[in-house]
Amino acid sequence: MIFETIAKTGHEEVVFCHNKDAGLKAIIAIHNTVLGPALGGLRMWPYKTEQEAVNDVLRLSRGMTYKNAVAGLNLGGGKGVIIGDPSRDKSEALFRAFGRFVNSLNGRYITAEDVGIDVNDMEYVFRETEYVTGVHQVHGGSGDPSPFTAFGTLQGLMAALQFKHGNEDVGKYSYAVQGAGHVGSEFIKLLREQGAKVFVTDINKDLVQRCVDELGCEAVGLDEIYDVDADVYSPCALGGTLNAQTIDRIKAKIICGAANNQLATDAIGDELTRRGVLYAPDYAVNAGGVMNISLEIDGYNRERAMRMMRQIYYNLGRIFEISKTENVPTYLAADRLAEERISIIGRIKLPHMGNGGTRFQGRMRGQ
Ligand code: NAD
């Protein structure tokens, strides 16, 4: 069953990690290393079944291949999951045991923080392996990626405005921003610096109030955000908010935000295209975080990171062009861009393999 699934998803390697003394049950999935070592976060989650954990790690690692490829990084896609409750099951031994498994892969997989993991956990992983990013800044880590992700989201937005309206005058348009957390609040700051009108909502009322008091935003209700008459809808909270219930309500002609997995289904992406709504694919827009941590691998430099974020503007521009010339929705155009890059770089690196030594079946979304 598991081998059948892996054969379908085209993964190179899937490693099951078990350490009884540490209570470790983890899986590392390496999807594709044609462009470079597989970089992807470690997630800790109380999966109800082992199959659920397998499915998640396979899906997420494949997503990282696409994300890293579109971002222009010399990195492949991988992911790790630990089966456990982050509020109860964390220990030094658990993360050190996981670190030893990462180390045993000799750099084919590089781990990072994801849901349920923080910088302290990464410190333990770091004691056992150098193939880890997202450690504390004192060890050369890059710190909180959110400002970079927000700046990258702004680059994606500018590319979308350019494609849709032929200008990048961010301040001329209005925005409905859903989520004023780490990325959302930084993104709002950038919008307001250019004088844009910003509507904001968040389940955390204090965060909304701060945006009103300190940044001059207009607060709207949690559900009301979908009805706001704004030029751009910017999901910066949860995934799946573009769905059958919301797309009739959203008036914006551009969708550009940092949240992962914004499209509930591919059909929603098709429908947005049919309606003339420009959807900036989430994993291309929010690549700032992964770009930032990728720089830790050869020695982190903040200026270089900021310059790298600018690439998101060009990546989105290419995605929109592919979408137009090949007459496909933007979410598919992003996948094509990733697949083309892996294929061509693969042929350069491994000319004898003809197809770049990689194989794609079906498509992915998000990470
Ligand atoms: P965060 O937890 O700091 O912020 C998310 C905010 O959304 C919180 O303030 C939360 O209260 C709010 N929220 C949750 N449910 C909501 C709802 N139904 N309506 C309105 N608000 C709601 O997380 P973040 O780091 O800012 O990340 C935001 C999104 O961007 C996530 O989807 C994340 O996966 C994605 N992302 C983040 C980064 C990064 O660098 N932090 C990188 C890539 C992608």
pTM over 0.85: yes
Could you tell me if 9 and 124 lie in one domain? yes
For residue 183, give its domain range: 146-337
Least confident of 167-181, 262-276, 297-311: 297-311
CA of 179 to the centre of ligand 1 (A): 6
Could you tell me if 128 and 151 lie in one domain? no
SS3 56: helix
Q: Which residue from 190, 283, 286 has its CB within 8 A of the most atoms of ligand 1, so it is best to mutate?
A: 286
Q: What is the number of residues in the chain?
A: 367
Higher-pLDDT residue of 351, 281: 281
Q: Which residue from 115, 236, 256 has its CB within 8 A of the most atoms of ligand 1, so it is best to mutate?
A: 236
User: Residues with Cβ within 6 A of ligand 1?
Assistant: 145-146, 149, 178-184, 201-204, 207, 222, 236-238, 258-260, 286, 289
Could you tell me if 176 and 233 lie in one domain? yes
Could you tell me if 81 and 186 lie in one domain? no
pLDDT in tens, 58-77: 999 999 999 999 999 999 99
**For ligand 1, atom 35: residue with the closest CA:** 259
Could you tell me if 116 and 252 lie in one domain? no
**For ligand 1, atom 1: residue with the closest CA:** 181
366 pLDDT exceeds 60?
no
Could you tell me if 120 and 258 lie in one domain? no
Higher-pLDDT residue of 353, 35: 35
Bridge partners (DSSP) of residue 255 are: 233, 279
**For ligand 1, atom 20: residue with the closest CA:** 202
Residues designated catalytic: 79
Could you tell me if 33 and 181 lie in one domain? no
- Alpha carbons within 13 A on the beta-carbon side of 109: 29
Domain boundary among 132, 157, 183: 132
Domain membership of residue 169 (yes or no) is yes
Could you tell me if 114 and 156 lie in one domain? no
8-state DSSP, 124: H
Confidence at 130, pLDDT banded by 50, 70, 90? very high
Could you tell me if 127 and 170 lie in one domain? no
CATH number of the domain that residue 330 is part of:
3.40.50.720
8-state DSSP, 160: H
